[in-house]
Amino acid sequence: MEWGEWECLQAQERSRETTAKNEIYIGPKKLTRFERARIVGARALQLAMGAPLLIEAPVSRSDPIDIALLELDSGILPLTIRRTLPNEEYQDIPLKWLTQA
């Protein structure tokens, strides 16, 4: 294999990796109900343990689950979902990508 062919193969591989990083290729293009429940539960636990709020919650909403739902619906949670396949392949997907769908 010559040097020019090697560079061409490397460029193709890099473009394939870039495309794969910007696409959701494991699971649905939106947040599943199970992922939503897991995120709300984890964030509600954080809030119950004293984590700072990421939004200004109305006085009428003091329950950690309600506040976690508000934060999720507003799209400001800095979380990443890891979706795995049975062959242990996985993809980390930013939560913002899944809430926009």
Query: What's residue 19's pLDDT?
Result: 46
Q: Which two tokens stand for residue 96?
A: 């913002």
Position 47 scores a pLDDT of 95
Q: Where are the domains of the chain?
A: 3-100
3-100: CATH topology: Eukaryotic RPB6 RNA polymerase subunit (3.90.940)
CA distance 78 to 38: 14
Smallest CA-to-CA distance from 74 within 57, 93, 60, 49 is with: 57
Write out pLDDT tens, residues 86-96.
998 999 999 99
Residues of the chain below pLDDT 50? 18-19
- Contact between 96 and 83 under an 8 Å Cβ cutoff? The reply is no
Give the pLDDT confidence score for residue 11 in this predicted structure. Answer: 62
